[in-house]
Structure 1
């Protein structure tokens, strides 16, 4: 089984748990933006947006650079590969369980149909 860094997963999923931060990532996926532009876009204070950006930076999802008085944000280096692999592992497990359940249901339905035909 693949081993994942719990701290990294916790940090990334915590960062992704907030709708505003997911919106910021979506926006930065289209183009970089200053913290001021992001705060305006999401109708929040500059301080509030700085906190969101800080959480995203700690998770490696956003990088910032300061030029003069403007701090510009862009998508980070983390491509969420480890997180996607973790999710995929569980998706495969649940898919296998649902397929097994489907087989049981099909067997029960076939048995029920057979019983009905034989008057049981």
Structure 2
């Protein structure tokens, strides 16, 4: 059950194009919230809300150096996402193979 809830948070966070853009920025390396805001035409507050949501979904994490807070991509979480997507890929691939066999009259009988 916890895994389902976690995936809900992850996919909700990924449902917004701005948040996906933030993740793309962070895939290049750590950035402050201010640096992220400079790359988008929105307020610092709006970026902060997106960052908080990404952090709550464990897609990013923060570190502090002195008074500066950096955002980092959490690459480990993508393993869980890839496993979930891979499971669905296998499921649908098998279903499509069954459909093809049925259409071709090769139903295994």
Which interval holds the TM-score relative to the shorter structure?
0.7 to 0.9
Q: 1:73 aligns with which of 65, 71, 78?
A: 71
Q: Aligned pairs, how many?
A: 106
Whole-angstrom CA distance in 2 between matches of 1:4 and 1:81: 16
> What TM-score, normalized to structure 2?
0.84
Deviations 1:55-106 (A, max 9, x none): 1111111112344553221112643222221221111111111011111222
Please give the residue correspondences for 1:69-108 in structure 2 after superposition, counting only pairs within 5 Å: 69-76=67-74, 78-107=76-105
**Match in the other structure for 2:16:** 18
Is the Cα contact below 8 Å between 1:9 and 1:83 reproduced in 2? yes
**Match in the other structure for 1:57:** 55
Secondary structure, counterpart of 1:107 in structure 2: coil
Whole-angstrom CA distance in 2 between matches of 1:7 and 1:107: 41
Q: Does 1:6 align with 2:4?
A: yes
Whole-angstrom CA distance in 2 between matches of 1:53 and 1:13: 15
Q: Report the alpha carbon displacement of residue 10 of structure 1 after superposing the two structures with TM.
A: 0.9
In our comparison, the structure showing a higher alpha carbon Rg is 1
Is the Cα contact below 8 Å between 1:35 and 1:73 reproduced in 2? yes
- Structure 2 residues without counterparts, runs of 5 or longer: none
**Match in the other structure for 2:29:** 31
Q: Report the alpha carbon displacement of residue 23 of structure 1 after superposing the two structures with TM.
A: 1.0
> What TM-score, normalized to structure 1?
0.77
